[in-house]
Amino acid sequence: MSKIADKFMQLRSEGRKGFIPFVTAGDPDLDTSLEIALKLADLGADIIELGVPFSDPMADGPTIQRSSERSIRNGTTLNDVLDLARSFRVKSDIPLVLFSYFNPIHHLGLKEFRSMAARSGIDGLLLTDVIENEAAKISEVLEESSIDLISLIAPTTTDERLRDICSRAKGFIYAVSRAGVTGARESTSSTAKQLVDRARKFTDLPIGVGFGISTPTQIEEVWQYADAAVVGSAIVSVIEMNASNPVSAVETFVAGLVPERQATAAE
């Protein structure tokens, strides 16, 4: 059983729901990204997503696009992201998921990536741009090192495709709350719950909801029907707007997002 599956089993046994923050590795720089990831762990993150910067992030909105651009300007590579993960793993055992497009991994070589990711303590990989047949082959390779390929589903996913995706899914399923690209929104889409309900017909795996989650109210809403809430663009935006002290700014923002985690940590 993977570390991701173990984490969700723990959450279920404790009657809690998951909090999964996302940051783009290398934004504003690699050392600060490591500090932010470790701070997120201290703040009660259950799983952390590390974004691999990519020059053509077609599934991402302007906020994460700009973070990728900043990271790439700093020279961040996939190898650097894996080194960051290795440094994180020395200090924390919270599961790590890489959020990436396939091109950087293909360029490195899938089996080489698998070996390097396993040594770096990566527990899951979420790819935004592979279709079912490709995903099945990639999942088989990663499974040899107990790395889960996290599957994405969207409101536009048909029941037939949902069945296929759920049948080979590992770790947890990432439900996109609405059609379109990443980015914070003032309210969650009603289609998110409908999508989760549809997926439940085909899988017992945990389901996390992301894209547009940016407030405590939205997190609480998601926790009513899903197993985890993913917060990405809102955190990346805080980093962008507080270049002089991003770690402190992220701490303040996230402590307000999930205050019950801080209360638990203080007990």
Which residues face 185 on adjacent strands? none
Contact 193, 218 (CB under 8 A): no
On the question of pLDDT at 91 being above 50, the answer is yes
Closest residue by Cα to residue 79 from 116, 41, 109, 42: 116
Give the model's confidence band at 267: pLDDT under 50 very low, under 70 low, under 90 confident, else very high. Answer: very low
- 103-121 pLDDT, tens digit per residue, is 999 999 999 999 999 999 9
pLDDT at 263 over 90: no
Buried b (16+ CB within 10 A) or exposed e, 161-182: ebebbbeebbbbbbbbbbeebb
- Judged against a pLDDT cut of 70, whether residue 203 lies above it is answered with yes
Q: What's the pTM value of the predicted model, to 2 decimals?
A: 0.93
Mean pLDDT on 18-47: 97
What's the pLDDT at 58? Answer: 77
pLDDT single digits (tens) 53-89: 998 877 788 999 999 999 999 999 999 999 999 999 9
DSSP 8-state class, residue 244: T
Contact (Cβ atoms closer than 8 angstroms) between residue 47 and residue 94: yes
Domain residue extents for the chain: 3-266
Helix (H) / strand (E) element for 71: namely: helix 62-73
Residue 179 pLDDT: 55
- Catalytic residue positions? 49, 60
H-assigned helices in 92-158: 102-108, 110-120, 132-143
**Three-state DSSP class for 202?**
coil
3-266 topology per CATH: TIM Barrel (3.20.20)
